[in-house]
Amino acid sequence: MTNRLFISADIPDEIKDKVIEFRDNIYGSNNNVKWENKTKLHFTLKFLGDVEDNKIKSIQIILEDLLKELSPIKCAFGKFGLFKRNEMPSVLWLGIKFNKELIQLSELINNSLEKIGFEKEKRKFKPHLTLIRLKGNENLEKINGFLDFDLPETKFEINEISLMKSELLSSGSFYNKIKSFKLNK
């Protein structure tokens, strides 16, 4: 059996609340728009795809070994941005200011998991929180308003990395934590 897995850098709940506050202040609280749920806000360090059950323990051992000596990672939000598909906006996201430690962690995870058969990520790591996957019924003028918004400085620490399972349902995706690893050196 396979599970759709990824590795996430988790952010504190109070920071997730701030993100939702920023979002609602810019866009308004429109119920026709399907924003990502607060519980789904995270930074993806590595998407693993469909993984056989018998590989999960190996992934956990590698992550535990990699992360046991790491300290929490200090971050600050940067700017909002858009990913596009066929010239049309497809994802609104919130990025962080350049963070060498988070980039190095992503590379370390990539290199370590390559040793047990996972393909190394070819794209440059761009840490971001996905706020909405655009479906076409959103107000693009308001969405573009995010790009010009100057965020107040918001600092936070990433002190937990998780191995996550993503289930695709007709109502959207749902995430379950398989195992979390504290950064507390």
Sketch the domain layout of the chain as residue ranges: 2-182
| pLDDT value, residue 30 | 66
Q: 42 catalytic, yes or no?
A: yes
Residue 145: which residues within 8 A CB-CB, separation 6 or more?
26, 27
| Nearest-angstrom CA–CA distance, 115 and 118 | 7
Task: Give the pLDDT score at 86.
Answer: 86
CATH topology for 2-182? Cyclic Phosphodiesterase; Chain: A, (3.90.1140)
CA distance 28 to 65: 44
pTM for the complete prediction? 0.92
The one catalytic residue in 19, 42, 132, 134 is: 42
The reported pLDDT for the residue numbered 31 is 61
Which of 128, 161, 162, 163 does the annotation list as catalytic? 128
**Residue 137: per-residue pLDDT:** 72
72-108 pLDDT, tens digit per residue, is 999 999 999 999 888 888 899 999 998 999 999 999 9
3-state SS record for the chain: CEEEEEEEEECCHHHHHHHHHHHHHHHCCCCCCCECCHHHCEEEEEEEEEEEHHHHHHHHHHHHHHHCCCCCEEEEEEEEEEEEECCEEEEEEEEECCCHHHHHHHHHHHHHHHCCCCCCCCCCCCCEEEEEECCCCCCHHHHHHHHCCCCCCCEEEECEEEEEEEEEECCEEEEEEEEEEECCC
Q: Is 87 a catalytic residue?
A: no
Q: Cα–Cα distance between 14 and 7 in angstroms, integer?
A: 21
Mark the ranges of the chain whose per-residue pLDDT is less than 70.
30-32
